[in-house]
Structure 1
Amino acid sequence: MKAVVGSTVVAEAPTEDLVKIEGNWYFPPSSLADGAFEKSPTAYHCPWKGDAQYWNVGSGDDVARDGGWSYPDPIPTAFDRVGSDFSGYVAFDRSQVSIEE
């Protein structure tokens, strides 16, 4: 699967390497394009996953503000609920980032 902003592929990995949580595909850190992610100051806390890190995603004129989010240090009980460790995996705002198979 691919995550695309404008014409830039910002993440790409086989579907079996992704984790699906609450309808969102989370891409592993190793699948993220170098230079396409900038930390955002936007804060969010999920009661069962923990503190999120938001990302501005893309390059040049094609940047999705807060277009991605991850959980760098999820609450450990979330791993049982999800079925795997999703630390650092990034999901994308589908209104700004295209997810393609």
Structure 2
Amino acid sequence: MKAVLGTTVLAEAPKDELISIEGNWYFPPSSVKADALQKSPTPYTCPWKGECQYFTVDVDGQRLPDRAWSYPHPYPTAFDRVGRDFTDYVAFWKEVSVTE
């Protein structure tokens, strides 16, 4: 699967390596084009996943604040709910197209 913004592939991995959580595809950290993401200071803590790290997506002359996110230290109980460890996996918001 691919996460694409414009003509830039932000992440790419086989579907079985991704994790679907609440309708969003989370890509393994090693599959993400890290230089396209910049840490955002926006704070958020999910009640069941834990503290979230937002990122600004910066590619092709576009800067989209808080359009990607991950959980660097998820709550251990979240692993049971998701079925896998999703530490540092990255999901993308609507402007980023995720396709098979």
CA contact (8 A) 1:54 1:67 kept: yes
Aligned pair count?
A: 100
What aligned pairs does 1:20-99 form with structure 2 within 5 A after superposition?
20-94=20-94, 96-99=95-98
Give the CA deviation at 1:7: 1.3
SS class of match (2:40): strand
In structure 1, distance between residues paired with 2:84 and 2:66 = 25
How far did 1:34 drift?
A: 3.5
For 1:13, give the aligned amino acid: A
Which 5+ residue runs of structure 2 have no aligned equivalent?
Answer: none
Q: Which residue of 1 aligns with 2:99?
A: 100
Q: Secondary structure at 1:58's aligned position in 2?
A: strand
- Secondary structure of the structure 2 residue equivalent to 1:35: helix
Indicate the RMSD between aligned Cα atoms, in angstroms: 1.0
- Listed as ranges, the gaps of 5+ residues in structure 1 are none
Q: Higher helix share goes to which structure?
A: 2
Please report how far the alpha carbon of residue 76 of structure 1 lies from its aligned counterpart in structure 2 after TM superposition.
Answer: 0.4
Residue matched to 2:8? 8
2:73, 2:34 → 1: CA distance? 21
Q: Which amino acid is 1:46 matched to?
A: C
| TM-score with structure 2 setting the length | 0.94
More strand per residue: 1
Instruction: String of CA shifts for 1:28-61, please: whole Å, max 9, x gaps.
Output: 0010014111001111110000000001113241
Deviates more, 1:6-15 or 1:79-88: 6-15
Residues 5 and 58 of structure 1 are in contact (CA less than 8 Å); yes or no, is this contact kept in structure 2? no
For 2:3 and 2:76, the matched residues in 1 are separated by 27
- TM-score of the superposed pair, with normalisation by structure 1: 0.94
